[in-house]
Amino acid sequence: MPFMPVKFNLPKRVKLAQGLWMLYWFSVIVGILIFSLGIFFKIELRKRSEMMDNNESHLVPNLLILMGMLACGINTFGGKVCHDCLDPIKFTKWKPMLKMYLLLCCGFSMLLLLTALLCILMQFAVYLTLAEGLKNGIKFYKDTDTPGRCFMKRALDLTQIEFRCCGNNNFRDWFEVQWISNRYLDMSNDEVKDRVLSNVEGKYLMDSVPFSCCNPGSSRPCIQHHLTNNSAHYDYDLRTEELNIWMRGCREALFSYYSSMMNSIGALVFATIILELADMAGLKYLSTALETMVDPENPECESKGWLLEKGIKETFTELLAKLKMLGKKTNQVEEGRDATVDTT
């Protein structure tokens, strides 16, 4: 008893073929969209790779690019089959390939599912990479004379300005590192010497932040230095001051940016999976409807289409039996080979 049978006459078949053709071309456009989103994501990761210590994982965008190209190819082929199917001569050319093609589509949908899951799950990896990268970024902020790190200062300043954030978790991260290079410190000055000596590691630590932490929306000119000293500035209280510098940490800001991007891409990939399944179902109906025509010479005759030839349970048991047969065959071949080896 076929699974979900539907009766077809000529107008219905024609409509199904046309609708399916349009659906396949829509899927091609969606494939192109996934491809371009993969490229966009790759570019975004590359742009901020300095904040991630240059060891961010490009698995997700590469996979998206690959999936996009595969989707274009597979769906173009499907569209071509639909275009030709109402012509019996052309259809006989495609008939033997259809089973293989549907299996390929199944495999492709599995891959899409894997991609969508990776989009959602890799966010953790991005979070950890960002935490590590920003910590190093703040540490190397002052090393503008070290080859390989001389642009860290500019990158971090521009990131803090663009994403409206300060430090890794918050602005106090800047209090724990020396972010002014020794080249610009007057070591003969008493104040500088005191500060450096008061610290175990000999670092020049301050309760100040770089200018890129400043919030332009503050009604007061930016207070960068002596942030924890309320008496250093007129009418200033650190605990109540909210608008002076950005309160958010850059890890939080960057992560929410990437996370929203990955979530939307993941949602789009899920939608593509549903689209692919609809394509497959339509093609199965169309091919079975064309194959079961009562009178092949008369195009106006009725026919029946279905998703599975037998019910779900029976198809499943058949599949298991086939796999068992395949397993037995390989065992027999191996036994045969062992026997011949033994006899020699």
Partner 1 sequence: MVLLKMKFTQQRRVHLAQGLWLLSWLAVMCGAFVFCLGVYLKTELLRREEVMDNTEIHVVPNILMMVGLASVGTNWVASRVCQDSLEGSRFPRWKVLLLAWFVVAALLCCLLIAAVVLSYALQGHLEESLKVGLRNGIRFYKDTDVPGRCFQKETIDRLQMEFRCCGNNNFRDWFEVQWVSNRYLDFTSKEVKDRIRSNVDGRYLLDSVPFSCCNPASPRPCLQNHLTDNSAHYDYEYQSEELNLYNRGCRQALIDYYMGLMNSIGPGVLSVILIQMSVLLSLRYLQTAVEGAMALENPEDDSEGYLLEKGVKETFEEIKANVLSMLKFRQVDPTSTEESPEAANAKKVADNTKEKAGSSTPAS
Does residue 242 interact with partner 1 by CB under 8 A? no
Residues 180-209, mask of contacts with partner 1 (x by CB under 8 A): xx-xxxx--x--------------------
Does residue 145 interact with partner 1 by CB under 8 A? yes
Instruction: Point out which span in 15-23, 174-182, 280-288, 298-306 binds partner 1 (CB under 8 A).
Output: 174-182
Question: For residues 259-288, which are near partner 1 according to CB under 8 A?
Answer: none
Report d(CA 92, CA 148) in Å as an integer.
Answer: 63
Does residue 124 interact with partner 1 by CB under 8 A? no
- Cβ 19 to partner 1 shortest distance, Å: 29
Bridge partners for 214 per DSSP: 245
Report d(CA 262, CA 123) in Å as an integer.
Answer: 7
Residue pair 224/210 in contact (Cβ under 8 Å)? The answer is yes
- Cβ 158 to partner 1 shortest distance, Å: 5
CA 97 and chain centroid, separation:
32
- Cβ 251 to partner 1 shortest distance, Å: 20
Does residue 15 interact with partner 1 by CB under 8 A? no
Q: Which is nearer to partner 1, 124 or 234 (by Cβ)?
A: 234
Q: Which is nearer to partner 1, 8 or 174 (by Cβ)?
A: 174
Q: Which is nearer to partner 1, 11 or 221 (by Cβ)?
A: 221
- Cβ 37 to partner 1 shortest distance, Å: 25
Does residue 177 interact with partner 1 by CB under 8 A? no
Report d(CA 324, CA 92) in Å as an integer.
Answer: 32
Q: Which is nearer to partner 1, 120 or 185 (by Cβ)?
A: 185
Residues 81-110, mask of contacts with partner 1 (x by CB under 8 A): ------------------------------
The torsion angles phi and psi of 221, rounded to 5 degrees, stand at -55, 140
Per CB under 8 A, the list member of 148, 201, 221, 344 interacting with partner 1 is 221
Give burial (CB, 10 Å; 0-12/13-18/19+) of 155.
Answer: middle
Per CB under 8 A, the list member of 131, 205, 222, 268 interacting with partner 1 is 222
Does residue 157 interact with partner 1 by CB under 8 A? yes
* Cβ contacts of 258 within 8 Å, gap of 6 or more: 44, 123, 126, 130
C-alpha separations of 9 from 86, 131, 303 in Å: 12, 62, 6
Instruction: Point out which span in 64-72, 154-162, 266-274, 305-313 binds partner 1 (CB under 8 A).
Output: 154-162
Compute how many residues bind partner 1; rule: CB under 8 A: 31
- Cβ 139 to partner 1 shortest distance, Å: 15
Does residue 232 interact with partner 1 by CB under 8 A? no
Q: Treating both helix axes as pointing N-terminal to C-terminal, what angle do 152-163 and 250-291 enclose, rounded to 10 degrees? A: 70
CA angle 221, 223, 229 (to 5 degrees): 145
Per CB under 8 A, the list member of 49, 144, 169, 259 interacting with partner 1 is 144
Per CB under 8 A, the list member of 96, 217, 313, 341 interacting with partner 1 is 217
Q: Which residues bind partner 1 (CB under 8 A)?
A: 144-145, 150, 153-154, 157-158, 161, 179-181, 183-186, 189, 210-212, 214, 216-222, 224, 233-235
